[in-house]
Structure 1
């Protein structure tokens, strides 16, 4: 075979190989994936504050007609963070003027809920892990429980609106609030009237507060405490149960010590560094 014939055969074979490659690349799309098709990752959509502000305005009518109604306005995209408001907004989907009535709720408490939805906190805001900013509206001697009741109302609304992070924040502020014996009684009355009977997170600390402060009851708020027990027998029972539990534990320790079953206390170790 001549060199010319060999070269013709080599070129023909090369042309066939090239044709196969081109046919594969231009095929019906069934070629194997190389793994490089989706080299750019999908970026999750980010909801911006501007997106919230572009959402429809919801009108909240707070208060009853007899006591006076105040209209507050909030953006729907922020409101629906609450399952309660999300359900209400769904029912208003085909309504032009979107209105939600809150006839039995406290105006200041509702405003605090809205402030939290917009800002992540409400006045008085946390100034640190164990302090809040100064509130000039609270009397120096808070016998009416103004500060405690403010946070208690926010707590109960947060529970109803399905905002657990807000209820936790309000609960923390309750424990950071200073008050008087009469103010504490006003707060206890609200808790036992408004909070759910099985809500031990807020009820139990109230009973424990009074169970460990009998001296305060006798000297500062005896009559208020008496009225509280008559109005809410469950409060009196809860306090009495805690007092009896504590007394029983003391009696058990005394009996154990008298029988010699309890080891003596160790002497406090004195440091050798002077």
Structure 2
């Protein structure tokens, strides 16, 4: 396979690729007639596709999702640089990638979710959604770009990733309110901010209902 504008080469077993309905259809339609078994994916990001392949082979991608039995919660694995004794934690694995589509960095888990949507990998979507919920310390501008990327790359029938971002903004609305990037994004508008308006109204209605309970 060649992936991205630079045509980065990837090799994978056909039976593994066919776990994805998208690749199963591509293999059936293309491989039977082609002498060179190759699929071209010029619009995909090689770094994201590498994580997708890792998931297809291993059932997860780096950093792995781990269950902390003592705290009974999910965590991202800590990564240690093998060249040094220094312990880097999650930061050893980049949590963002550059997206030419939005002109800046977006959360890698969001990009993986969107790619999983294209490839018909529902379990990978659930995994990526859970992982990005565990990310912290992400800049407001990155979150807003990631949200717009999510809206641009998921169908209206798939609301889970969009709902994640709407809930995040509502929870941290004071932080987002102070953001100049938020104001710029609001001027662009579109369905993203219509949904945010509706979600915020519903949130306020819920607060009113709770305060009125005798």
CA distance in 1, matches of 2:47, 2:66: 21
Residues 145 and 184 in structure 1, CA contact (< 8 A), matched pair in contact too:
no
More strand by share: 2
**Shift of residue 211, structure 1, vs aligned partner:** 2.4
The number of residues matched between the two structures is 188
1:269 paired residue number: none
Relative distance call for 1:211 and 1:145 in structure 2 (3 A) is farther
Between stretches 200-209 and 100-109, larger displacement belongs to 200-209
3-state SS of 1:74 partner: coil
Alpha-carbon separation, structure 2, partners of 1:253 and 1:78:
50
Instruction: Tell me which of 147, 150, 160 is aligned to 1:201.
Output: 160
Structure 1: gaps spanning 5 or more residues: 1-59, 263-274
Q: Per-residue deviation at 1:127?
A: 3.0
Deviation at 1:137, TM superposition (A): 4.1
Three-state SS of the structure 2 residue aligned to 1:130 is strand
Q: How much has 1:229 moved relative to structure 2? A: 2.1
Please state how far the C-alpha of 1:183 moved relative to its aligned partner.
2.6
Q: CA deviation at 1:214?
A: 2.5
| Preserved contact between residue 149 and residue 187 of structure 1 (Cα < 8 Å) | yes
Question: Per the alignment, do residues 249 and 79 of structure 1 end up closer, same or farther by CA in structure 2, a change over 3 Å counting?
Answer: closer
The CA distance in 1 between the partners of 2:116 and 2:191, in whole Å, is 24
Describe the shift of the 1:210–1:69 C-alpha distance in structure 2 as closer, same or farther (beyond 3 A). Answer: same
Q: Does 1:154 align with 2:112?
A: yes
Aligned to 1:266: none
Structure 1's 102 and 193: CA in aligned 2 closer, same or farther, altered over 3 A? same
Matched, 1:171 2:124: no
2:61 maps to 1:122? yes
Larger Rg: 1
So what's the TM-score if we normalise by structure 2?
0.79
Tell me how far apart the structure 2 counterparts of residues 248 and 80 of structure 1 sit (CA, whole Å). 46
| Deviation at residue 170 of structure 1 after TM alignment | 0.8
1:227 aligns to what? 184
Tell me the residue number matched to 1:187. 146
Q: Which runs of 5+ in 2 are unaligned?
A: 68-72, 78-89, 96-102
Does residue 136 (structure 1) correspond to residue 77 (structure 2)? The answer is: no
TM-score (norm 1): 0.62
Q: Distance in 2 between matches of 1:248 and 1:123?
A: 40
Cα 1:199/1:230, change in 2 over 3 Å = farther
* Structure 1 residue 86: Cα displacement: 0.8
| 1:70 counterpart = 2:11 | no
